[in-house]
Structure 1
């Protein structure tokens, strides 16, 4: 009896060692003992199943629905975009729909650690969806996942992890490992639709107050959020990088420079916020000089306006090309602005220019133009507001100058009356010498469809000095 127990113990130890040597050796090829069976199942799936896209699979779940097992012989194909090698992910990996230019991703949850040994970064993976479930791992977190079962409580129904046995019959590696090309995005472009996608941010750095801090705060229980910021002109755009307390790099100091960071778009545990999660600190290259926010080198807020008078601010040129009416100084609700309206002018054609003072473009770099504008009583697209720049305006003769149009976000008939529209940061850094900015409105005082008005306020030129 004792001999049998001893033999059982020895066999158990040997079997355990065999499993470890097979699964945890960082060998991303399919082991022969497993690969033959896995390949056979994958070939059967490809021969008899129907492929659907990851987007189609995600669309099968509607938030709040009770989940039922998928009864069709369908499957998805994707590429592993996350890695648990560093401990920053746990018993899960994401599949994005393409190794380059991906559009969406889905989470696969498996009750197994060190998944990177089998499902390495970039591995092409097929998932047979028949008898599996698609839903949220946690109610309301907004992350669509593939699981092997469901749990229902007072808050709703969620998916549960695939057991290792079911994973072997439903999740298959192909021999292909692709290079994952990170999707290059700006911070402002990151949203829930990109959860699970491997992205790249350029011109990014950790917030100023994080110098000397580490990826993980030992006072936290599970995860630490560290703010990343990107210079986007006059303000930073920000997003949090979240690091698990189980990550192997948690005690490393945050880099203090600016540069490139590659990460997986993720969500916080409760799904309240979109965050980034690293696969590895090898994806962090923040060694460059920190960026500087732009400062205003010229500003006009029109707060000196005298209500209902022709605009007469020093340095500005107010000129009527057709008709006699010009831009006016206006005040509403204690806010000054300038407006051009052709209503009741009596002139069949009204064209009015408002030209800024000259701006020295050689004293600084990376200049950006910004302003706000609104419309009211606009009824025709022929009643226009245009924006131009010139480097040969002599300060007097508007029509003799060469004016180049610039692209800006301007109010249209789709905007509500008096709704101020931000022009965006308009790149004017390519100009040298003295630059003038002009606003030109075309309307009519006799054609009622062309007697709308345009307003301009908060005129600024920003630059890096």
Structure 2
């Protein structure tokens, strides 16, 4: 190559580079146009019309093109949904929801929350599966099978808005309380309920985490949500929930969740912990009762004969506080004798209830009471004294000294009831002075210790 030819090539290349550079100002290259095409051109029906075909039991096979739209409400990004996609018919004010079984994880990457999707159900099954209407593949083992990952695009496609996948800002359907949410019309829909909090049994005496761990591995865990009206429902969290180690929030506020049912059991599902906005103060759905005529004395006998009617829960001279659960000490009568009673039989969940008796410890020397048990299946009674509890205040914050061992609490009969008998005498130490309370604590569980306790003749002597 001679020098003239070489210079000619170099000059030409330089000129071309200058020409290209001059076409772009400040490194601002033109964005190539997005070529967004909807796989299914148009819907043929509404989701509501499609779902209405589901039989009361079993399933049907969709044999023709049935195309409808939906908006994704679930997300498996944090592990609380597994190989399912829940979606509803509208981004706000939805009327129906559905669940799709898919043999694929990380679905949030393709179909994030709010994704506008279009489904052609031809070749899929539609039916009721374990309490929920679902669509899925033909399966030799299950009535509604998981759609293989390699075939998912045959049935589901995102809807384009000209700039790629259309993702809507969902507005949860606002419901009045948790009982309203337990309705099949809301299954697989995103809802929001106000004035919700975790049950006291989930945060007291130990503040639990979203899931339990066994040998370091997360397990599927139920926690209980309650509202200001006393309604409750299970919040179900997967053992793979990435936020499972977080402590349950103690406050009160709005709960956003996807409504779910497994067979006949309602279990609500969150996508992430921020779905629970519990920044407000807790509402006590079972507040302490009585406590309006507190008088500290070093000499008295309470035999409950002056109270009526049966099942009375309000005693002005004492505090009846259902710290966990909603059961209180109640007035009962047997053989013309009145006493108070509490048990967890036929209950749901844990119960911790206190009966607080005011005492002038400076003037008092002894404490006595009568006790009886029925259908004993575990110890349910403890006795404490405290000097820093304020009537109708937070009894969980009180410093309690356990004096149960000074008394004899029956451990029989296993069936039926015994008789009220003296539990013993506690000699109040001289060092214990000032005003305080004797606390009778009942601890039971509808699925555990359900022993019935009866107390009578609570006596303090100088």
- State TM-score, norm by structure 2: 0.50
Paired residues of 2:38 and 2:159 also in contact (CA < 8 A) = no
Paired residues of 2:209 and 2:247 also in contact (CA < 8 A) = yes
Q: Which residues in structure 2 correspond to 1:229-240 (within 5 Å)?
A: 229-232=226-229, 236-240=230-234
1:24-62: CA deviation from partner (whole Å, max 9, x where unpaired): xxxxxxxx9xx96x835223xx2xxx5222222222221
Counterpart for residue 88 of structure 1:
80
Alpha-carbon shift at residue 151 of structure 1 (Å): 3.0
1:39 maps to 2:37: yes
Using the alignment, how far apart are the partners of 2:122 and 2:285 within structure 1? Answer: 53
Using the alignment, how far apart are the partners of 2:82 and 2:309 within structure 1? Answer: 57
Distance 1:132 1:66, change over 3 A: closer
Paired residues of 1:96 and 1:104 also in contact (CA < 8 A) = yes
SS across alignment from 1:218: strand
Paired residues of 1:41 and 1:169 also in contact (CA < 8 A) = no
| One of 242, 245, 250 as aligned partner of 1:248 | 242
* Ranges in structure 2 where 5+ consecutive residues have no aligned partner: 1-31, 161-165, 291-307, 311-462
Paired residues of 2:212 and 2:219 also in contact (CA < 8 A) = no
Counterpart for residue 226 of structure 1:
223
Counterpart for residue 108 of structure 1:
100
1:265 maps to 2:235: no
Counterpart for residue 374 of structure 2:
none
1:312-361: CA deviation from partner (whole Å, max 9, x where unpaired): xxxxxxxxxxxxxxxxxxxxxxxxxxxxxxxxxxxxxxxxxxxxxxxxxx
Counterpart for residue 189 of structure 1:
180
Alpha-carbon shift at residue 77 of structure 1 (Å): 0.5
Alpha-carbon shift at residue 63 of structure 1 (Å): 3.2
Counterpart for residue 282 of structure 1:
274
SS across alignment from 1:77: strand
Alpha-carbon shift at residue 164 of structure 1 (Å): 2.0
Paired residues of 1:51 and 1:76 also in contact (CA < 8 A) = yes
1:131-174: CA deviation from partner (whole Å, max 9, x where unpaired): 221124x4xx121111121335xxxx611111123211210101
Counterpart for residue 345 of structure 2:
none
Paired residues of 1:148 and 1:166 also in contact (CA < 8 A) = no
Using the alignment, how far apart are the partners of 1:100 and 1:224 within structure 2? Answer: 30
1:98-120: CA deviation from partner (whole Å, max 9, x where unpaired): 11111210011211110000111
| One of 210, 215, 233 as aligned partner of 1:215 | 210
SS across alignment from 1:262: strand
Using the alignment, how far apart are the partners of 1:284 and 1:40 within structure 2? Answer: 35
Paired residues of 1:145 and 1:159 also in contact (CA < 8 A) = yes
Using the alignment, how far apart are the partners of 1:242 and 1:294 within structure 2? Answer: 24
Q: Which has the higher Rg, Structure 1 or Structure 2?
A: 2
Alpha-carbon shift at residue 91 of structure 1 (Å): 1.2
1:57 maps to 2:57: no
Using the alignment, how far apart are the partners of 2:95 and 2:74 within structure 1? Answer: 15
Using the alignment, how far apart are the partners of 2:47 and 2:210 within structure 1? Answer: 32
Paired residues of 1:205 and 1:229 also in contact (CA < 8 A) = yes
* Ranges in structure 1 where 5+ consecutive residues have no aligned partner: 1-31, 305-465
Distance 1:63 1:281, change over 3 A: same
Paired residues of 2:211 and 2:219 also in contact (CA < 8 A) = no
Alpha-carbon shift at residue 287 of structure 1 (Å): 1.8
Using the alignment, how far apart are the partners of 2:159 and 2:277 within structure 1? Answer: 31
Using the alignment, how far apart are the partners of 2:37 and 2:284 within structure 1? Answer: 54
| One of 126, 146, 150 as aligned partner of 1:161 | 146
Counterpart for residue 170 of structure 1:
155
Using the alignment, how far apart are the partners of 2:231 and 2:104 within structure 1? Answer: 37
Using the alignment, how far apart are the partners of 2:59 and 2:265 within structure 1? Answer: 24
Alpha-carbon shift at residue 66 of structure 1 (Å): 5.1
Counterpart for residue 60 of structure 2:
67
1:123 maps to 2:123: no
Paired residues of 2:192 and 2:254 also in contact (CA < 8 A) = yes
Counterpart for residue 147 of structure 1:
136
SS across alignment from 1:100: coil
Name the count of aligned residue pairs: 249
Paired residues of 2:59 and 2:127 also in contact (CA < 8 A) = no
Distance 1:262 1:39, change over 3 A: same
- State TM-score, norm by structure 1: 0.50
